[in-house]
Amino acid sequence: MDFENKEQVEKLLKNCIKNDPKSQKILYEKFYGKMLAVSYRYATDYDEAQEITQEGFIKVFSKLNGFKNIGSLEGWIRRIIVNNALDFIRTKKKLVFENNEGTLLVNIKDETTNLFDDKFASKIKAELILELMQKLSPAYKTVFNLHVLEDYTHKEIANILGISIGTSKSNYFKAKAKLIELFNENKHKLDE
């Protein structure tokens, strides 16, 4: 199916809303891999990521009639998956945020510039980045994902997670510092 053809997508979505299994399977298979990768960034392991993704797709199918075909279908599905991951984290895990709002982490910001520099990041295997991110605490990982990968502001993150803006910033900078530390411990994996 051509997902660039708006008429075909509209027809597919209408059939999905009517609970047509074939259409639902097409939609599911088209986006499952990408959404599993999104879920994995919030999960502690692959099984948890699969659970988040499966529950997310149940929500996608139940909310499809709310999709107005404005913007990207993938973006809309992604938002549901991310929200489902956040719900999962809230209900299944205890997020412990470190609240060191007064701590200035200027040197961490300077160090992370090198870690996330485009030339440098292109040398890092995606698998290594995911492996290192899995070692972050759930709170650090959640804030880092929302800010870096989902492009939320610290104000938005604070509202979503019920924390202060300073706590969001602090956890973000500590996540970056931890990633630098983990990267330095695992540099040998770049050559593999």
Report the mean per-residue pLDDT for the chain.
Answer: 82
Nearest to 34 by CA among 77, 85, 86: 77
- Please, are residues 76 and 56 in contact by the beta-carbon 8 Å criterion? no
> CA-CA distances (angstroms) from residue 122 to 83, 125, 177?
29, 8, 19
Both 60 and 124 in one domain: the answer is no
Both 142 and 171 in one domain: the answer is yes
56-61 mean pLDDT: 96
Both 81 and 151 in one domain: the answer is no
Q: What is the pLDDT of residue 52?
A: 95
Q: Is the residue at 101 inside a domain?
A: no
Both 139 and 77 in one domain: the answer is no
Q: What is the pLDDT of residue 190?
A: 62
> CA-CA distances (angstroms) from residue 69 to 9, 26, 36, 66?
9, 17, 23, 9
Is the predicted pLDDT of residue 147 greater than 60, yes or no?
Answer: yes
Q: What is the pLDDT of residue 69?
A: 73
Exposed/middle/buried for 32, CB within 10 Å: 0-12, 13-18, 19+? Answer: middle
Query: Could you say which of 92, 127, 161 is where a domain stops?
Result: 92
Q: What is the pLDDT of residue 120?
A: 46
Is the predicted pLDDT of residue 4 greater than 60, yes or no?
Answer: yes
Is the predicted pLDDT of residue 76 greater than 90, yes or no?
Answer: yes
The domain in which residue 12 lies consists of 6-92
Q: Where residue 118 sits, what CATH number does that domain have?
A: 1.10.10.10
Q: What is the pLDDT of residue 20?
A: 95
pTM: 0.73
Q: Is the residue at 113 inside a domain?
A: yes
> Could you report the per-residue pLDDT of 173-186, keeping only the tens digit for each?
999 999 888 888 88
Helix axes 21-42, 126-133, angle to 10 degrees: 70
24-39 mean pLDDT: 95
Both 161 and 121 in one domain: the answer is yes
Q: Is the residue at 99 inside a domain?
A: no
Query: Could you say which of 40, 68, 92 is where a domain stops?
Result: 92
Q: Is the residue at 60 inside a domain?
A: yes
Both 27 and 75 in one domain: the answer is yes
Q: Where residue 49 sits, what CATH number does that domain have?
A: 1.10.1740.10
How many structural domains compose the chain?
A: 2
Q: Is the residue at 111 inside a domain?
A: yes
Q: Is the residue at 98 inside a domain?
A: no
- Please, are residues 80 and 156 in contact by the beta-carbon 8 Å criterion? no
- Please, are residues 158 and 164 in contact by the beta-carbon 8 Å criterion? yes
